[in-house]
Structure 1
């Protein structure tokens, strides 16, 4: 047992050491988990910023495309205006050439061919208007072209600004990607360390569990040896007690014989009618006699040390009928705290009382008059009892007598 105690202490020391190491690693693991949470938060923030930048880049590229579309559209309009200007300029030149070739004579001829003065004025005005309208149209087209050129320049300026913004956004995204790459690397390192610490804790838990199993095994062995030791000690005590009991029984038997002789003398000095009491139950087997007896195990498993038995025990099945041994009055009917269990006491007069113990129940009551042979209770095993039986006593002036001297 001492060797096993030493082993248990040794294993416990190993457990304590491993628990200290585990505690230290747990503290490191907790710090790593905090670092990991912080890095994950930073990476999450950077991911959000990267996404915002990507959204800006997308919006920027969309705006660039829209401006490009506008530039292309306006450039097409400029080309159309240029074509119109060229066309109208050409027509104007052709008209001017014709008018130049016609000279004033031709112009006068056209005017003189007028039917009347109003027609003359109308033709003169028309010729002047044609020239003015052509010049005005060309001027309008030139103005439109200038506006379109200005718009194209503005759009190109916006496009240039957007292109610069695009480059800045790309650089911003590149910077964010670099920061995220650094954080991701740190996060992966922390996760790797966390995995190592967790694995180490698992190993320590296994070591601790193994040592706890060994301790349980040694405790079980120790308990088994202790039980074996106690069993041997109990056997030795039983043997010693039996040796003492055998010597005591021999002495008690001699004492019982002397006591029985004395009871016979006492019985002969009293007058009880016919000198006999009725047999108090249907059971006839005497399981324990009046006088000194050795110890025994009670019904609940406890040990009764024995002593002087003040009555006789008549054993029978539970519920066997019990009768009054003689006419009398019930002076006690109920539970007794001194080992009798359910108890009935009947006073028969002239100093004689009888006791009926360990009853299953108590149907009679105090003050009730009963007759010889009248049913008073069912047999039981209440109080200090090893099984179903009637403990029957006869007392004269309070002194216990051998019942067999009265009921035989």
Structure 2
């Protein structure tokens, strides 16, 4: 007699259980694999966080170095302008000295000429005085006595008197000219002495400025070298950060593969058990995670925070802080937490078929890694965390780890 489980009506049940057991045996060690990948994701996130912290510190030092270079450069430029002004003043003083020297040379020529003329007149007068002394007034008297008539006498008398007065006037005028030239010469010599003093002072000022410029040039070279070192450190950390983010992306793809393997094995088991399965999520079957206008579409753009031209790997939906963010489709949470790459608080959900959705800049997160979520379920609240210019939701879609335009998947 057949036992209670040996009848025909239990044969289908036994077959289904056997199939389920086989399917479960085919599933990878999900608990271990999941834990292993999750640990690697967490470790990579921690590494990126450390790199970002160092990068933030180095960027601060780079900003300080750039500011110091700018300050010293401005001071050096100011010093160079002062040097140019000092050179202009010195050039003006030296030009004035040359002009004074030319005037002195011309004045000396005039003085020499005046002295020569004066000497000639003095010589003539001296000879006449000697004649007058040796012959009394006979020289002039002789001229007068030779007059042939009274009219001639008067004319000769006037000539003699005019000659004597002219000689005396000429001598006085020449002496006055000489005195004037000597006075001008004294003034020019005084001016030249003052200009020489100003020249010496201007040269001292320029030498001091030259020394200051040399000092600031050395400071600028040292500051620029420090800036270069800081820039190199920032560049290296940025490369390390980018490599870390790429590694994290790879781990997320690995996590998606793990979830896909788990899901396929589970689906196969349910099929063998005769269960009716829901259709897979496909393009055009994602719901909007939040309602609002799109302020930035998918595509290349200049990042409003970093000012770098790069791919905007999603769409920005304008919503106030605290707006409920819903899961775009059924799936399992594979990332939930802070992202140092600029997303701030972030959730990533794997939907199977190598399809994943990303939700960024959240103010709150309501789900955890490994949690299954349903389409439309509240998973977070919108915000403005990370690299953000204001409250909004960044929504991204990835297929096989590659960012695609979400608009082709939303309805």
TM-score (normalised: structure 2): 0.56
Aligned pair partner of 1:240 in 265, 273, 277: 273
In structure 1, the partner of 2:166 is 133
- Following superposition of structure 1 onto structure 2, how do residues 225-264 of structure 1 map, counting pairs within 5 Å? 225-241=258-274
Find the aligned partners of 2:181 and 2:46 in 1 and give their Cα distance: 93
In structure 1, the partner of 2:63 is 30
Deviation digits for residues 192-242 of structure 1 (CA, Å, limit 9, x no counterpart): 11111111011011111111111111211221122122122212211221x
State whether residues 48 and 245 of structure 2, in contact with CA within 8 Å, keep that contact through their aligned partners in structure 1.
yes
Find the aligned partners of 2:150 and 2:135 in 1 and give their Cα distance: 22
- Is structure 2 residue 193 aligned with structure 1 residue 198? no
Find the aligned partners of 1:146 and 1:69 in 2 and give their Cα distance: 20
List runs of 5+ in structure 2 lacking aligned partners: 1-33, 284-411
- Is structure 2 residue 103 aligned with structure 1 residue 70? yes
- Is structure 2 residue 84 aligned with structure 1 residue 55? no
* Offset of residue 34 of structure 1: 2.6
Deviation digits for residues 221-265 of structure 1 (CA, Å, limit 9, x no counterpart): 221122122122212211221xx79xxxxxxxxxxxxxxxxxxxx
> What secondary structure does 1:114 align onto?
coil
Deviation digits for residues 90-127 of structure 1 (CA, Å, limit 9, x no counterpart): 23334444555665555444323323323212212322
| Structure 2 CA distance for partners of 1:107 and 1:79, relative to 1, 3 Å | closer
Deviation digits for residues 133-155 of structure 1 (CA, Å, limit 9, x no counterpart): 11221221121111111111110
| Structure 2 CA distance for partners of 1:126 and 1:227, relative to 1, 3 Å | same
| Structure 2 CA distance for partners of 1:232 and 1:141, relative to 1, 3 Å | same
In structure 1, the partner of 2:200 is 167
Aligned pair partner of 2:184 in 146, 151, 154: 151
| Structure 2 CA distance for partners of 1:140 and 1:105, relative to 1, 3 Å | closer
In structure 2, the partner of 1:40 is 73
| Structure 2 CA distance for partners of 1:219 and 1:165, relative to 1, 3 Å | same
- Following superposition of structure 1 onto structure 2, how do residues 8-407 of structure 1 map, counting pairs within 5 Å? 8-98=41-131, 104-105=137-138, 107-241=140-274
Deviation digits for residues 3-55 of structure 1 (CA, Å, limit 9, x no counterpart): 12211211111111111111112222222233233222222222222121111
Report which of the two structures shows the higher radius of gyration computed on alpha carbons: 1
Q: Choose 133-142 or 57-66, whichever is displaced more.
A: 133-142
> What secondary structure does 2:273 align onto?
helix
Find the aligned partners of 1:160 and 1:77 in 2 and give their Cα distance: 21
Matched residue count: 249
Find the aligned partners of 2:225 and 2:171 in 1 and give their Cα distance: 78
* Offset of residue 186 of structure 1: 1.9
CA RMSD, 1 decimal: 2.6
State whether residues 132 and 138 of structure 2, in contact with CA within 8 Å, keep that contact through their aligned partners in structure 1.
no
List runs of 5+ in structure 1 lacking aligned partners: 246-294, 302-408
Higher relative contact order (CA 8 A, sep 6+): 2
TM-score (normalised: structure 1): 0.56
Deviation digits for residues 253-299 of structure 1 (CA, Å, limit 9, x no counterpart): xxxxxxxxxxxxxxxxxxxxxxxxxxxxxxxxxxxxxxxxxx9989x
* Offset of residue 131 of structure 1: 2.3
* Offset of residue 180 of structure 1: 2.2
Find the aligned partners of 1:297 and 1:127 in 2 and give their Cα distance: 147
